[in-house]
Amino acid sequence: MSASPPKLLDRVREAIRLRHYSRRTEQAYVAWIRRFIVFHGKRHPRELGEPEVTAFLSGLAARGVSASTQNQALSALLFMYEVVCGERLGWMQDIVRAQRPVRLPVVLSRDEVSSLLSRLHGPVWLMASLMYGAGLRLLECAELRVKDLNFDRGELTVRDGKGGKDRMTMLPTALKQPLVDHLTRVKAQHDADLAAGRGNVALPGALRAKYPNARREWAWQWVFPATRFYMDDATGERRRHHLHESVLQRAVKDAARAAGITRPATCHSLRHSFATHLLESGYDIRTIQELLGHRDVSTTMIYTHVLNQGGRGVRSPLDQLGPGAGRR
């Protein structure tokens, strides 16, 4: 008796893993494909076409989802049809993707950054300081491993960043000793986990099969491990995940509020502030582009607009009249 063919969503998962997409991409694509199928009465996608795809995306727009969310849903459907179903659907290439609005980033002053960081403590202070001091994205910071820190050279390596790229950035001198002290505590925790028959960590890609012992080695452990264990469904191992990014997001939001910052400051604002403050200090935009990991320098150029004060740096003619001009 022949085995039944794998279900559509299982094929989607397999195709994503073969291409080494991130776990988050897999979860997002599967969720959107499932929503698309349910939206059309659980009919198989092979029975659906342009009108159904357009209706689904239009329904998302009607519910007020953002352009990036709508585009992610479209990308998931494109992947399913072209990669999994093997159908080259020319009409899907003609679907207009929602345009993301161009927003200026929220950039904090040096005093605001200092005030915000002073209200954080422990690992979240270290993480927020690294985001500002090295220009890290939130997940890049959370997913740091011990081997990514080079204290001798003052370097920090970001592995598999946005777009699947590695890059090098600086390790702030002010954070070297705090990081050493932090890692001493993390190492003691890891040794205790090993003694208890645990101490395994998730490895990227096929490294688990290539280096079966690496999952227990100190170099591969998270710099910022979670306080609790979780059970991996595939292996049955009890592991520590890295500290969940929502913990840092919540801490930064609370610190910004306590610091009296009225603008919507987030973790990413620290990265924006890193870039802007480097520009203010006279560093070359190409250097900043490499540190941030931007593919195109035009993305980095947005920070030149933030530098200008009062409408591209133009001084208002009213200010040139002198104090109290025309006042009655």
Residue 308 is encoded by which pair of tokens?
A: 């200008």
Task: Tell me whether residue 19 is one of the annotated catalytic residues.
Answer: no
Dihedral pair phi/psi, residue 155, rounded to 5°: -120, 155
Cα 124 to chain center, whole Å? 16
Catalytic hit among 239, 240, 271, 272? 271
Under a CB-based contact definition with an 8 Å cutoff, are residues 146 and 220 in contact? yes
Catalytic hit among 29, 81, 132, 303? 303
Give residue for tokens 């998302």: 60
Task: Tell me whether residue 271 is one of the annotated catalytic residues.
Answer: yes
Task: Tell me whether residue 303 is one of the annotated catalytic residues.
Answer: yes
Task: Tell me whether residue 44 is one of the annotated catalytic residues.
Answer: no
Task: Tell me whether residue 121 is one of the annotated catalytic residues.
Answer: no
CB atoms within 10 A of CB 105: 16
**255: Cβ contacts below 8 Å, ≥ 6 apart:** 116, 117, 119, 120, 128
Q: How far apart are CA 269 and CA 113, in angstroms?
A: 9
Number of helical (H) and strand (E) elements in the chain, helices listed first? 15, 5
**141: Cβ contacts below 8 Å, ≥ 6 apart:** 127, 130, 131, 224, 248
**262: Cβ contacts below 8 Å, ≥ 6 apart:** none
DSSP state of 147: G
Catalytic hit among 162, 208, 238, 241? 162
Catalytic hit among 132, 137, 239, 242? 137
3-state secondary structure of 299: helix
Amino acid (1-letter code) at residue 247: V
Task: Tell me whether residue 137 is one of the annotated catalytic residues.
Answer: yes
Catalytic hit among 182, 198, 241, 268? 268
Dihedral pair phi/psi, residue 156, rounded to 5°: -135, 130
Q: How far apart are CA 248 and CA 192, in angstroms?
A: 25
Catalytic positions, please?
137, 162, 268, 271, 294, 303
